[in-house]
Amino acid sequence: MASHRRPKSPSRARVTVLTATAAAAVALTSQAAHADPKPTKSEVKAKVDKLYDEAEKASEKYNGAKEQQDKLKKEVDAIQDKVAREQAELNSLRNELGSIATAQYRSGGIDPSVQLFFSSDPDDFLDQASALDSLTAKQAESLDKIQSKQRTLAQERKEAQDKLSELSEVREALGKSKKASQTKLAAAQHLLNTLTAAERASLAAADLRASRGSGARVELGNELPASALGGAALQAASTRIGMPYSHSVTTGPNSFDCSGLTQWAYHQAGAEITRTTYTQINQGTRISQSALKPGDLVFFNGNSHVGLYAGGGNVLHAPYPGAYVRVESMSTIGSFYGAVRI
């Protein structure tokens, strides 16, 4: 006789597991269908270039903070040396006042009228009284000097303390800028690592051709520099073609960042300019792009990058990490920001 028992229904737990498994499978399928495609070599390069630009901005801030730190350190040292000298002078004045007080005590411990009454030689007494008056006047003068010196010393100590506080803030900014630059560079390297070995080799070869295809010297051709100074700076910079780019506080002679190269070049020409793009643009005379002449400083990408105009629409500059000092068209460097003639 056939059984009429109803089939056993699946447990709730089993249904839940099956449902979850199915949902996960659907989700994975959906993710696979909508996953972002791997970026192409050109897309990676564009992102890396952007990160290099951001790293350079942070690096220029670092360079500015470093320059400010060095300046403040010298000022603090000078003030502290002055404070030490003032303190020594104050100690000397105090010793002098002590000697006067001792001499005064020995000369005039009794009321002058009483001294005159008991004195057997009035002339001798009057001589002593005159000497006592002189000591008193000298004591008053020494007290004035001490008080003045104490005020000066207090002001100098406050100035030193203010400079030390400012130095501490600059050092903090220095650390932040350095970290920001390193973070951007690490992100750029991570992106480059997503490329195949062949793609990385292709990018490196293209960059090497751009870096070393400019020749050993800059040929000015028919374009004359605006001044002998600008021409000398450009020729000095041209001797660095092929030298590697290096981030932060690199002013040569064998590696450079962008503003380090321009500062070094003008130093060789006999002129001192400041360290960063943010301060170099405020030196000399601002000029338009159409007025550019060889040796002028040209700024790009929101004033985060600088090079020397080399004529023919080209700029000699230190580009970015992994590249070398080279001459290339302004159109390939980035957006024109401004120019100055030193």
What single DSSP character describes residue 10? Answer: P
**Among all chains, which residue has been given the structure tokens 């780019």?**
245
Q: Residues 4, 247, 267, 305: which is the catalytic one?
A: 305
Catalytic residue among 4, 247, 258, 267: 258
Known catalytic residue: 258?
yes
34 is catalytic: no
Give the Å distances, CA to CA, from 240 to 99, 108, 156, 245. Answer: 67, 81, 45, 11
SS3 at position 336: strand
Number of other residues whose CB lies within 10 A of the CB of residue 30: 10
- Is the CB of residue 141 less than 8 Å from the CB of residue 106? no
Q: Are strands 336-341 and 297-300 parallel, antiparallel or unpaired?
A: antiparallel
Environment class of 61 (CB within 10 Å of its CB; exposed 0-12, middle 13-18, buried 19+): buried
> 242 phi and psi, to 5 degrees?
95, -10
Phi-psi region of 204 (alpha: psi -120 to 50; beta: other; left: phi over 0): alpha
Q: Among residues 4, 34, 247, 317, which one is catalytic?
A: 317
**Quick check: 234 and 308 in contact, CB under 8 A?**
yes
**Could you confirm whether 305 is annotated as catalytic?**
yes
Q: Which residues belong to the active site?
A: 258, 305, 317
